[in-house]
Amino acid sequence: MDSPFKPDVLKGKVALITGGGSGIGFEISSQFGKHGASIAIMGRRRQVLDDAVSELRSLGIPAIGLEGDVRKAEDARRVVESTYQHFGRIDILVNAAAGNFLAAAEDLSTNGFRTVLDIDAVGTFNMCHEALKYLKKGGPGRDSSSGGGSILNISATLHYTASWYQIHVSAAKAAVDATTRNLALEWGTDYEIRVNGIAPGPIQGTPGMSKLVPDEIESKVRENMPLYKLGDKWDIAMAALYLSCDSGKYVNGLIMPVDNGLWLGKPRH
């Protein structure tokens, strides 16, 4: 689908995208690139990074892949530094890396609970914390007129109520949303950094869908949605573009559900 945005809305910007090699993260990487940004993607799997970078470069997008685990502060620091060394600035950080599996609360180990909290919540904090120096107004590589950069955290809607077999992810995404709001307040005020979030609904063709909604129950999910359809990765990337380019310049601390209104409730039957 064509983009409604002009192709230069992110011209000259540099975006670092965790989990940017696959799923929603890759779609954000490629749409940001198609709209003028240079892209650094971070992930744990070398082959996934290499394939993603090749695809981005084949579209003419300047791109690098940096191996690292967001759970480790030293990896976060190294990847942020390498992005700056390579491109000379960092304007946008997207935290799209996430971990997930279905598990009933009574069967979930402490380590299982902690692992997802670590990837989603601690990982998001680590990346934001390390990138602050470069995103803040007047930071390295930033011209004095351009203000601060922006951060976009990908969460979910499942913690708005409760979700079966997702206690660990619900807790983690609630922490991500709290992190978004608190950083928006502190860093918006002090450093002119805008911090926003996107809460995707069920998006087809993602690891989340295949892990959480096996094919046999997908039609049931559709029946319970107000407009009876799944979202596309494109829908999330367009929301990400809106929040990350000048169209979103007065938006700070927003967590935008992009789920076709599913979080509001079930349709009439």
To the nearest 10°, report the CA torsion of 198, 255, 265, 212.
40
- CA distance readout (Å), 241 to 3, 80, 183, 202: 10, 21, 20, 19
- CA distance readout (Å), 117 to 100, 112, 183, 250: 10, 9, 18, 30
| Count of residues touching ligand HXC (by CB under 6 A) | 18
Nearer to ligand HXC, 105 or 185 (CB): 105
- Find the binder of ligand HXC among 36, 141, 147, 207 (CB under 6 A): 207
Nearer to ligand HXC, 98 or 132 (CB): 98
Nearer to ligand HXC, 164 or 228 (CB): 164
Kindly write down the DSSP assignment for every residue of 253-264, as one continuous string: S-EEEESTTGGG
x-or-dash string of contact with ligand HXC, 147-186, rule CB under 6 A: ---------x-x----------x-----------------
- For residue 36, give the amino acid letter: G
Taking CB under 6 A as the rule, does residue 100 contact ligand HXC?
Answer: yes
Taking CB under 6 A as the rule, does residue 262 contact ligand HXC?
Answer: no
Residues at the interface with ligand HXC (CB under 6 A): 98-101, 103, 108-109, 111-112, 115-116, 156, 158, 169, 207-208, 211-212
